[in-house]
Amino acid sequence: MAFRLDHIAFGFPGRRVFTDLSLILETGHFYGIIGPNGCGKTTLLDLMARLRQPSAGQIRFGEQELTAIAKKKLARQIALVPQNFYINFPFTAHEVVMMGRYPHIPRFSAPSSEDTRTVQAVMESTDTEQFSDRLITELSGGERQRVVFARALAQNTPVMILDEATSNMDINHALNLLSLTADRVNKKGTTVIAVFQDINLAAMFCDQLIFMKDGCISAQGPTNSVFSADTVASIFHVKAMVRFEPFVDANQALFHPGGLAE
C-alpha cells in the first residue's frame, strides 16, 4: 500500500475543499485522477506530497505517518511535477534536471558519476538532451515542462505525482513521457498518481481511474470498468459515448458538442 488517507478534512480560508475524504492507493499502479475544475484534484496531490497539512484525519505513506518522515527522506520517495512552475533565474536545462538528484547528493558534495549518468540517460530518453545547455528561461512552455518532467524522472523515486504534467506538450512528447512513466510502473513497480484533463489520454496509460467531484471521490476502480458514459455524464454534465477502442487498447470517449447531459 502506497497511500492511505483516512477521513481527511482540508479547507482554505472561506472555502472547504474536503470534509471527509478517504482513499487507499496501492503500490505499483498508474492512477489517473479526473474531475472538473476546482474539485480539489491539485489540493489532493498537495496533501499527498505533504505540501499542505490536512486539518483533520490522517495520511499514511507506506507503513508510516506522512508527517513523521523527514523532508530529505521524503524527497527520495516522492517526486512531483507541479502544474504551475515558474523558473525565474537562467539555469541551464541540464542544471535543472540535475536538481532532481539533489536529494541523493550530500549538501556540499559534487554529483557522483552515477548522478551524471542518470541525468544523461533521462535527458536522452525525454528528448531534452538537445537543449541541455540552453537556458530554461529561453525555452518554450512545452520544452520547459519536459525539462521539469525529466527532473522528476531523474529523482528516481518509488512514487511520482504528476499534476497535469503534459498539459503544454505536443502529443508526440506527451505520449513519449507518459510511456516512460508507465514503463517504470510495469518494470520497477513505481506508483504514479497523475491528474489529467484529457480523460482519453488518462485511459491509455492509467490502469486505475479516480473520478472526483466537489471534494469527494465519486468513482474509483480499474480503468475499463469505471470509465463509462454514465460516469462521465454525472461528473462533467456532458453527453458522451464511451467504448473500448482496440487501437489504443483502452476505453475512449467521444463527446457530443451540443447538449449538456440533463
Using CB under 8 A, list all residues that contact other proteins. Answer: 13, 46, 49-51, 71-72, 74-76, 78-80, 82, 84-92, 94-96, 99-100, 102-103, 107, 110-111, 113, 116-117, 120, 129-135, 137-138, 148, 151, 155, 161
Smallest distance, other proteins to C-beta of residue 249, A: 32
Between CA 195 and CA 182 the distance in angstroms is: 14
Nearer to other proteins, 46 or 207 (CB): 46
Between CA 253 and CA 244 the distance in angstroms is: 9
Nearer to other proteins, 163 or 207 (CB): 163
Smallest distance, other proteins to C-beta of residue 184, A: 17
Smallest distance, other proteins to C-beta of residue 11, A: 11
Q: Are strands 191-195 and 30-34 parallel, antiparallel or unpaired?
A: parallel
Nearer to other proteins, 116 or 167 (CB): 116
Smallest distance, other proteins to C-beta of residue 108, A: 8
Q: Kindly state the cell numbers that stand for 165.
A: 504534467
Nearer to other proteins, 177 or 235 (CB): 177
Nearer to other proteins, 131 or 211 (CB): 131
Nearer to other proteins, 58 or 137 (CB): 137
Between CA 115 and CA 98 the distance in angstroms is: 8
Q: Kindly state the cell numbers that stand for 119.
A: 541525468
Smallest distance, other proteins to C-beta of residue 136, A: 9
Between CA 206 and CA 30 the distance in angstroms is: 5
Smallest distance, other proteins to C-beta of residue 98, A: 9
